[in-house]
């Protein structure tokens, strides 16, 4: 899972939304930031239940590390990432 660092300057009242983001468990969320004269409100909203199947598969390591691990094993059955690969390529 990639970390995203971004910044914005809000000089006027309004609402700003960010989509295409995921929580720590990999579920899709939307982020809304709303500024008024009195407040600033930050909301993180989970996407509806039907999108939970879109959860990305993440075993906690980068694609480069996955490739390196796979290349060191002659047989996929012996690879510690076997379960991850089976989930990743189940639709193919």
**What is the mean pLDDT of the segment spanning 60-78?**
78
Q: Do 1 and 42 belong together in one domain?
A: yes
Q: What is the pLDDT of residue 52?
A: 47
**What is the mean pLDDT of the segment spanning 76-89?**
76
Q: What is the pLDDT of residue 80?
A: 80
Q: Do 37 and 65 belong together in one domain?
A: no
63 has pLDDT over 80: no
Burial 44-54 (b: 16+ CB within 10 A, else e): eeebeeeeeee
Could you give the 3-state DSSP secondary structure of residue 51? helix
Q: Which two tokens stand for residue 45?
A: 């909203």
Torsion, CA 61, CA 62, CA 64, CA 66, rounded to 10: 40
Q: Do 47 and 86 belong together in one domain?
A: no
Q: What is the pLDDT of residue 91?
A: 61
Q: Do 50 and 68 belong together in one domain?
A: no
Q: Do 62 and 84 belong together in one domain?
A: yes
Q: Do 31 and 68 belong together in one domain?
A: no
pTM score: 0.43
86 has pLDDT over 70: yes
Range of the domain at 33: 1-56
**What is the mean pLDDT of the segment spanning 28-54?**
79
């Amino acid at each position: 899972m990639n970390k995203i660092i971004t910044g914005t300057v809000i000089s006027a009242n309004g609402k700003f939304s960010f989509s295409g983001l995921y929580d720590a468990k990999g579920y899709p969320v939307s982020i809304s930031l709303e500024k008024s004269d009195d407040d600033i409100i930050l909301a993180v909203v989970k996407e509806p239940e039907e999108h939970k199947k879109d959860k990305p598969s993440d075993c906690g390591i980068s694609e480069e590390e996955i490739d390196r691990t796979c290349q060191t094993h002659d047989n996929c059955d012996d690879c510690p990432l076997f379960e991850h690969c089976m989930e990743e390529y189940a639709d193919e």
